[in-house]
Every structure is written in C-alpha cells, then in structure tokens.
Amino acid sequence: MKDTVDSYVTEDGRTIGGVMMDMRGITLRFGGVEAIKDISFDIREGEIRAIIGPNGAGKSSMLNVISGFYHPQEGEVWFRGEKRPPMKPYQVARQGIARTFQNIALFEGMSVLDNIMTGRLTHMKSGMLAQALWMGKAEREETENREAVERIIDFLEIQAIRKTPVSRLPYGLKKRVELARALAAEPKLLLLDEPMAGMNVEEKEDMSRYILDVNDEFGTTVALIEHDMGVVMDISDRVVVMDYGRKIGDGTPSEVRNNQDVIDAYLGVAHD
C-alpha cells in the first residue's frame, strides 16, 4: 500500500513526497446538521488529490475547513508536520495555501492584471513609506512581482485580456483568471473548488491540462473538488469519496472505481 512508504514515483515519472496536509477526525456541524462526520485523509507533497461525491456530500465544506473559512468542532488539521491552531482564512493563505471558489470570487472592478497582482500580496514585504516613495527595494520588489505575474499570464495564455476589467469576461475565462490569481501566490498547496463546473468539453480539456502542467512544472500540490468523473479519474493520483458527510472511499482512481460503496453512492442503491 502506498500509504506506508514515505515517497514514491508515479507511472508518469513524478515524485510524490510525504504527507503535507493531514486531516484527522474532522467533524463539522452547522447547528444540528453534521456536514462532515469524522473524516480523516491526507494530501501528499506533489500529488493531485481529488475530493468527489454527490451534491451535498460536504466536499466544499471540507475545502473550507482546509482554507480556514470554516472551523471544525472536532478533529485536527496538521500541515507540514505541525498541528495547526484555528486560523483565519488570511492566515492560511499566508502559509502558502491558495484557493479558488465554486462561484468565482474575483475583484470585479479591477483589471485581470490587477486581480492577479493581488495574488502577490503575500510576497510583498516593503513598508508602506518605501512603497509610497517608490524607493529602491520597493521598486525591485514591484518588478519581481510583475515578472512573476507575467510568467503566469503566459502560462495560462491570457495575454490578450491582461487589461480587461474582469466583469466583462465570459465565465470560462473568469475561472482561468481566478486560477491565475491563486497561482500568483506561488502556493505550496492549491485548492480548487470545482474548477471545471459549467465548462464545455474543450474548456474542460484546457483546464485539465493547466492543472497537470501546474503540478508538473511548479511541483504544486493540488487538491480539487470536481463532479466530472472522467476528468477526475484522468488527472488525479488519489481520490477521496464523500457521501452525506462521510468518507466512503479513498485510494487511486482504479481502486475507487471498483469500490462497491462508491458505485452505490453514485448509481443509487435500494436499501432494504
């Protein structure tokens, strides 16, 4: 079993490292409703980890726990070998965990470039005064940040819309800009909440390719929620399956595909 070794090399030659994020016995309640019931799983360095499950399974809630938007009543979150105290989302972001949202949360009033620049905020160190006066260090920093942003713009092939206000973009491109902003932070862990929702086949293929390339070229660990089973099975290394707040499966795509509980959850099964 892969879980017992520290690191391994995948069939396509990528190295998967030790455990980066370890969720232990997470339980999340909203009033009397248990959105997540005692779930444990881990995310390893360098892998693409998918969380799947039917609607209302608690996938987004899980992502929100990881990114600090929700705080679980029970359970522990371990990041890079350390137990994480309850954190605000901005603190989580500063730890190197970037995310996108199911319903796209971009700064609609800003240009594409400005949006992506906000992703660099955690990398900007110069003091307010130095920046206001545009002094040496601040200037160098600004140049570096601009370069990093331009690399990402090239990478995601959105040069043509750099100066366009985000509010004018079509849905598919907005999704891509949101990914760009998350990447601009050079995250250790990238969380994607349904990156392909509402896209056509071609857009989905593009997005899959970008996710694979990000993982491959930058070595970014990716955890994603996705409904399209075909995509999930194609691009992920391991898959967690949730249903009604419980974990019903965890393993490689082929293991999960053959798991009876998972098949039942997706196809529906007559309970006696």
Partner 1 sequence: MSADFLYGIEVVINGLMAGVMYALVALGFVLIFKASGIFNYAQGVMALFAALTLVGVMEGQVPFSHLINAVFGTEIHHFGWTVPAFAAILVTLGVMIFFAWAVHTFVFRHLVGQEPIILFMATIGLAYFLEGVGDLMWGSDIKTLAVGLPQGGSLFVEDLTAGLGGDDFYGFFIDKLDMVATLVAIVLVAALIGFAQYTKQGRAMRAVADDHQAALSVGISLNYIWVLVWSLAGLVALVAGVMWGAKSGVQFSLSLIALKALPVLMLGGFTSIPGAIVGGLIIGVGEKLFEYMIGPMIGGATENWFAYVLALIFLVFRPQGLFGEKIIERV
**119 part of the interface to partner 1, by CB under 8 A:** yes
Q: Report the alpha-carbon distance of residue 128 to residue 105 in Å, rounded.
A: 27
Q: Report the alpha-carbon distance of residue 236 to residue 94 in Å, rounded.
A: 26
3, 56, 71, 121: which one binds partner 1 (CB under 8 A): 121
Write the single-letter amino acid at 54. P
Tally of CA atoms within 13 A in the half-sphere of 265 that contains its CB: 22
Written as six digits, the tokens of 106 are: 């971009």
The minimum distance between CB 41 and partner 1, in angstroms, equals 22
For partner 1, the binding residues in 58-87 under the rule CB under 8 A are: 67, 69
Q: With respect to partner 1, which residue has the nearer C-beta, 119 or 251?
A: 119
Q: Is the distance from CB of 94 to CB of 122 less than 8 angstroms?
A: yes
Stretch that binds partner 1, among 17-25, 117-125, 196-204, 257-265 (CB under 8 A): 117-125
Helix crossing, 171-184 with 136-155: angle to 10°? 140
**Proportion of the chain in helix, strand, coil states, percent, rounded to 5:** 40, 25, 35
The minimum distance between CB 185 and partner 1, in angstroms, equals 7
What are phi and psi for residue 67, nearest 5 degrees?
-90, 5
The minimum distance between CB 240 and partner 1, in angstroms, equals 22
Q: With respect to partner 1, which residue has the nearer C-beta, 67 or 253?
A: 67
Q: Is the distance from CB of 123 to CB of 189 less than 8 angstroms?
A: no
Number of residues that bind partner 1 (CB under 8 A): 32
Cβ neighbours of 104 (radius 10 Å): 17
9, 128, 267, 270: which one binds partner 1 (CB under 8 A): 128
Binding marks (x or -) toward partner 1, 17..56, rule CB under 8 A? ----------------------------------------
| Residue count (the chain) | 272
The minimum distance between CB 89 and partner 1, in angstroms, equals 4
**117 part of the interface to partner 1, by CB under 8 A:** yes
Contact footprint for partner 1 (CB under 8 A): 67, 69, 88-91, 93-94, 98-99, 101, 105-110, 114, 117-119, 121-122, 124, 126, 128, 131-132, 134, 181-182, 185
